[in-house]
Amino acid sequence: MSHIKLFEEWCNKAIEDKDLTAELTSVKGNDEEIYDRFYRTLEFGTAGLRGIIGAGTNRMNIYVVRQATQGLANYVLKKYSKGAVAISHDSRIKADLFMIEAARVLAANGIKVYITSELQPTPVLSYLVRHFKCQAGIMITASHNPAAYNGYKAYGEDGCQMTDVAANAVYNEIQSIDMFDGVKIADFDEAVKNGMIEYVDDSVYTQYLDCVKSRQVSKGICDGADLSVVYTPLNGTGNKLVRRVLADIGVKKVSIVKEQEMPDGNFTTCPYPNPEIKEALQKGLDLCDEEKPDLLLATDPDADRVGIAVKDYDGSYRLLTGNETGAMLTEFILRSRTEEGTLPQNPIIVKTIVTTKLINAICNKYGAQLKDVLTGFKYIGEVILNLEKDAQEDRFVFGFEESYGYLSGSYVRDKDAVVASMLICEMAAYYKKQGKTLAMVMDEMYKEYGFYKNTTLNFGFSGAAGMQKMADIMSSLRENAPKEFASYKVEKIADYLESKEYDLLTGDVTDIDLPKSNVLSYSLEGEHACIIRPSGTEPKIKLYITAVGKDADDAQAITDKLADSAKVYLS
């Protein structure tokens, strides 16, 4: 059906949400605007759905949510014959509405639904799936995207985000469903009354927090440390649970960034509520100038990521990257658990392929096994699942990705900013009792292991033309493989879509034992590297640069040269 025909159908049938009808009226006669809303349907993948809130098949709205949920319901019923699904949401605009609409569809299909009475972090949803022995889960969130976005993350019965196989099966179901006439809808109040929809009891959140606190590395370490923290939930879901767990472990001095304390999907204090960027943390940094804490914690809207800033030598605050925080946590956990005799036999650390190779050196020091997985926390979750099948889940010590996602323990299967916030505070208290700031600790690690600088650059592409441009760039890189970046020769190329690694020095070709993914990795002389991949959730290509220098200035100079060279291929 053409985009104009689709638009006309929506004008006739999409009448339940007044915001959508107003938007459709406002774009009548504007072919460019209509095309952008209807030129494609939001594709359901391992990251679920994500898009701008609004009218159309290329937008997030109640009709897209209903269709996706009907597809999920069909999948669950075909695979399990019956089932249960847990649903929650964050502070995004219309997130609570989308949760209710998804619950109505599931209930109408005879599937039991557990929903939260208020917004909750994404890791809580992962916990609920396994707690209630559900066959699937739904989290309404767009993570750290701008306020205009919302999304729909789907989880499997293991509490991990859906795998490629499951996501493809759901997508195939969705494709066969008429968005308006092919969806079953129950009355929400009636479904609650007859027990098909059930609200999660508050006691379950206490059980989740008990699991979080069971991951303490050194119980009581925060007592007497006089640790001072500034915390911002970035107008998201972390406020209650993060503050509660910090109080429980003995962190008494917690100052909250008031402008970002309460849930607000408009995110008026930062255009991009992402703890990876300084603008999102600016209000917190301003409060640090007043309070002079040991560190700043910032969790993203769905509280699965956390960023930090730490007091530097001159009293200012240094923003740490996800790689730096993850490296310090890895060192702290392995060191402390070795000291306390709680490190399991053959411990396992898991990281993604784009995460710093500094972890390799740390694991070698402590005799831990390192597993590299594809980008996406579900692959870390799969490692835990496989260990659990062999009753070896205790071997999983820590997992993280460079984009500020961390997990310790197997109680959930997604990154968890609540447990990460707890561990970061334990780490800060541990070193504070030794007279060290986290800035000092990071610098000591660079001196011991070498200066690894990891930089992520994003190249944005918008609209239909942008999606095609991204595809063209990746095709061009495969057809005309770069032989060098700046003056550094390419020694190896790993193509994760082909599952092959090509050694350009020896001519050897080896298989990559990981799922296929549209990623190209270039190993350069001097241990430097460039990795290029399209984002799975946003219209952009990501460039990951590794520069190994003699010191910070040397590593930065190498990074700048590699970035300038790579931009030629990504323009």
Q: How far apart are the first and last CA of the chain?
A: 33
Torsions phi, psi for 4 (to 5 deg): -70, -40
Strands 306-311 and 369-373, sheet pairing:
unpaired
Helices (H), 48-144: 62-80, 95-108, 122-131
| β-strand partners of 114 | 86, 198
**b/e per residue, 461-470, with b = 16+ CB within 10 A?**
beeeeeeebb
Q: Answer for the pair 303, 209: CB distance below 8 angstroms, yes or no.
A: no
- For 149-190, what is the HEC assignment? EEEEEEEECCCCECCHHHHHHHHHHHHCCCCCCCCCCCCHHH
Contact by Cβ (8 Å): 237, 302: yes
Residue 492 · residue 523 · CB < 8 Å: yes
Nearest to 418 by CA among 300, 251, 310, 323: 300
Mode of pairing for the β-strands spanning 84-89 and 49-52? unpaired
Backbone angles phi, psi at 226, to 5 degrees: 55, 40
CA pair distance 276, 435, nearest whole angstrom: 28
Q: One of 143, 336, 403, 408 is an active-site residue; which one?
A: 143
CB atoms near residue 289 (< 10 Å): 11
* Angle (nearest 5°) at CA 492 between 489 and 494: 135
Q: Are strands 228-232 and 306-311 parallel, antiparallel or unpaired?
A: unpaired
Residue in 414, 415, 404, 378 with CA at minimum distance from that of residue 515: 378
State both tokens at 306.
């956390």
Q: Return d(Cα 545, Cα 529) in angstroms, integer.
A: 6
Q: What is the DSSP string of 9-52?
A: HHHHH--S-HHHHHHHHHTTT-HHHHHHHHSSPPPPBTTBEEEE
- Tokens 């070193």, residue located: 431
Token duo for residue 566: 């790579």
Q: Which of 61, 84, 77 is nearest to 137 (CA)?
A: 84
Write phi, then psi, for 203 (nearest 5 degrees).
-60, -25
Please say if 143 is a catalytic residue: yes
Given the DSSP bridges, would you call strands 500-503 and 488-495 parallel, antiparallel or unpaired? antiparallel
Q: ∠ CA(33), CA(71), CA(37), 5° rounding? A: 0
> How far is the C-alpha of 372 from the C-alpha of 377, rounded, in Å?
12
List CB contacts of 342: < 8 A, sequence separation 6 or more. Answer: none
Which residues does the annotation mark as catalytic? 143
